[in-house]
Each structure stands twice: as structure tokens, then as C-alpha cells.
Amino acid sequence: MQGVKIDRRTLLAAKSGTLTKSDFATLIKLRNWVRQLRNDDKLTIDDILKQED
């Protein structure tokens, strides 16, 4: 994920459902990167956006 920035605005837009096309593409890249790190092919964007206490 070198050179790709995930900022607070992108995450808030994802949670509210108002993503731009470029924000969505960034989230897909983030999901794919985390899938690769965790060896978890079933990880979803929703899993990434979950907040746990």
C-alpha cells in the first residue's frame, strides 16, 4: 500500500455511504492489502470498518 493514503474523510464517507469513485478504489486496495497480510481471502470492507471496543 505504498503511496496510498487512507484519511479520516475516506473512512467517514465509507461509513455514511457517500464514497467517491477514488475513495472506493482506495478502500479496495486497503482491503486487498489487509487480505494479503492476514492470509484471509474472505475479509470484507465492512470487516475493516468495524469498530470494536
Residue numbers of the domain that contains 14: 8-49
Q: Considering the domain boundaries, does residue 15 fall inside one?
A: yes
| Angle of the 21-38 helix axis to the 8-16 helix axis, nearest 10 | 100
CA distance 4 to 30: 9
Please count the structural domains in the chain.
1
What pTM value is reported for the model?
0.70
24 in any annotated domain: yes
Estimate the share of the chain in helix, then strand, then coil, as percent rounded to the nearest 5. 60, 0, 40
- pLDDT for res 53: 67
* Within a domain: 1: no
Q: Is residue 3 part of a domain?
A: no
Could you tell me if 41 and 35 are in contact, meaning their C-beta atoms sit under 8 angstroms apart? yes
Query: Per residue of the chain (53 residues), what is the pLDDT tens digit?
Result: 566 677 788 888 888 889 889 888 888 988 999 999 999 999 998 888 887 76
Instruction: Show the cell assigned to 47.
Output: 470487516
On whether residue 12 sits in a domain, the answer given is yes
Residue 19 confidence (pLDDT):
86
pLDDT value, residue 12: 84
Please give the pLDDT value at position 1: 57
